[in-house]
Structures are given as structure tokens and as C-alpha cells.
Amino acid sequence: MATNTVRLHRVLRTPPDRLYRAFVEPGAFERWLPPFGFTGKVHSMEPVVGGAWRMSFTAFGTGHSHSFGGKYLELVPGQRIAYDATFDDPNLPGTMKTTVTLTPVSCGTEMSVVQEGIPDVIPVEMCYLGWQESLVALAQLVEPNIPG
């Protein structure tokens, strides 16, 4: 794993378009992105290339929150999402870039996530664990096929 970079891979039992929507609909994004123990709130989201987004995570146990946001760099419905993010906290400097690639497969969608530029003060392994938790919540959101 490259320094300050997290790479994840999942196959989810859902079509690419539904998975894509989970990244660009505010209610969905705040539902699955926060790792376990956190709630999420999307404050703004303009899912167009160059559009801005902003959200915050709040630790449920302590009430401590941190906010962050950025711009959409690439949006190809059902195929690819790229966005950057910076934290409002000056102790978490730099800009991260997250790239998500969605590929249809026989049982759903193969998803690749690469997050680069993680601030030095965040241990990469903790970021990796947080992403794993987020992806569990993502699967719980997108995989059920509820009729009607």
C-alpha cells in the first residue's frame, strides 16, 4: 500500500447505477459513509463536475464532530466518481482525492476505491478500517432489492 493511500475492492450485489446513486444522493451518502460510531450530515451537495460538496461526521459517544468537503472532479453515471476533500481542521492539512470505479459483473458491480493524500496525522490503517466499516453500511443500503 503506497504511503497515505488506501485501496479497497468489493463486489456488491447491486447494479452500477444504484451504487453510483449512493455517492451522489445526500441522504444515501450520509447514511453509509460515516464509519461505525459516527453519524453523518451532508450540508451541501452539487453532484456535477466542479460542483462542491460538504459534510460532517459526529462521534455518537462524545458529540465531537469534524467537517470536510471538496469538489467533484469526475462523474460518469454508473461508471466512475472522483472527488477531492479537505478537512476544516487545520491540524488535518492537505487535500485527499478519492476515485471510485464501478464495473458491471455477472452478480452485480465490482467496485474499486482509491483514496490518496490522507493527512499524515491519520494512520493509514485506521483510515482503511474506517472504509471497511463504511463499505459494510454501503452494502446494507444498496444490496436489498425491495419491491414497489
pLDDT in tens, 69-115: 999 999 999 999 999 999 999 999 999 999 999 999 999 999 999 99
More confident residue, 1 or 139: 139
What's the topology of domain 5-142? Answer: Alpha-D-Glucose-1,6-Bisphosphate; Chain A, domain 4 (3.30.530)
Prediction pTM value: 0.94
* 107 within 8 A of 25, measured Cβ to Cβ: no
Whether residue 8 contacts residue 29, with contact meaning beta carbons closer than 8 Å, is answered with no
pLDDT at 1 over 80: no
Contact 112, 88 (CB under 8 A): no
Could you read off the pLDDT of 27-62 as tens digits, one per residue?
999 999 999 999 999 999 999 999 999 999 999 999
Contact 56, 72 (CB under 8 A): no
Structural domain boundaries in the chain: 5-142
